[in-house]
Structure 1
C-alpha cells in the first residue's frame, strides 16, 4: 500500500530535515546512516522520509488543498540529539540531503471495515498517485474531499465517468454519466483523501468522480 502524505507548506518547512549522510555518500541507501535536525524524541523512533511534491487545487473552487509529500522510505532513529542519527531500513526512492521526515504511519487498509457512507459523498479525482494521468485496478487516486467533508477511512465509493457531449442532426446532447468501478478510501486528511481502486471496467481518468453507491 502507498504511504501518501498531505501537508501545508508551513508544516513541511518545520518538519525534521535530513542534513547530512555518511561520509562519501550522495544518496541514503538501505542500512546506511543519515543525520537529522529537529527530531523530537517523544514521537517514537520509526519515521518516514518524504520530499515536497505537487500542490493540490480543487477543480471546482480553486482552493489550495495542500501539498503532496512523496514517500521515499523508512528510517529508524539510533540516537536522539541536536543532530540525531537515523538508519535507513527501507528505501523506495532515492533519499537525499534536504528531504523531510514524518512520524511513521502503521495503519493498514485491512484495519478498516469497508462500508458505504451513511450520507451523500461526491468527490472528484484530482490526481493519480505516481504522477500518471490514468489508472486501473490497484492504483491509488486522490479525491478532493476529506475529513471536513465527512469522508472516513473504510468508505467504499462508486466510480463514475462524466457523460460526453455529442450531436445528432445539429442538436447537442449530453450522455448519461457511467458507473464503472469502486474505490476504497484508506487515508484521509482534512481537505483530501486517498482511495484504492478495487474495480474498474474503464481506465480511471482525472476529473472522473467517486460518490456514495
Structure 2
C-alpha cells in the first residue's frame, strides 16, 4: 500500500498494444444517513449594491399630465449628443428641486389594456442622476451617475 494510508496500486492494462500503468485506486468510504456539521471558516462572499446597480432596472410609469412638469435635456455645451457620467449638459423647463438633484429618464413603451385597448400609462427607463450647476431658463447640469448615455429629448424630474 502507499504512503500515509493511501491505497495505490499499479495496474497494467493493454490498450491497442500499448501498456498503460500507474492507475490510482482510491479508498471507498461508506456513509450512512446522519446529520453532519461542517465548520465555516470564512464569511460568504457578498456583492455590494454599487456593483449590482448597473445590472438592475429602475422601472417608472408616467402619465400625460406629468409630461408638462418635466424638464428636457437639450444638448451638451459643445453640442454633444451623447452625455455620460460627468458630462455637462443644458436643460430647459426644470421643475424645482430641494436638493438640486434630478433623475434623467427616457420615455419607453405605451402600456395598453389587453381587453379594452385603453391606454394605461407609459413606461420610463432611468438613464441617470444629474446635479444642477447653474439654474435659469436654460440650466446647466452635470451627470453624476449614469446607467446609459443621456440624449437630447430625455426628461428630468426632481
SS at match of 1:11: helix
Give the distance between the partners of 2:107 and 2:68, measured in 1 at CA: 10
State the shift of 1:88 in Å: 0.4
Unaligned segments of structure 1, at least 5 residues: 104-213
Q: Which structure has the highest strand share of the two?
A: 1
Q: Which has the larger radius of gyration?
A: 2
Structure 1 partner of 2:105: 50
State the shift of 1:63 in Å: 2.8
Give the distance between the partners of 2:119 and 2:98, measured in 1 at CA: 29
Structure 2 partner of 1:82: 137
Structure 1 partner of 2:60: 5
- What is the aligned length? 103
Q: Which runs of 4+ in 1 moved over 6 A?
A: none
State the shift of 1:73 in Å: 1.0
Deviations 1:84-103 (A, max 9, x none): 11110111122111110112
Unaligned segments of structure 2, at least 5 residues: 1-55
**Structure with bigger RCO (C-alpha 8 Å, 6+ apart):** 2
TM normalised by structure 2 equals 0.58
SS at match of 2:67: helix
State the shift of 1:42 in Å: 4.3
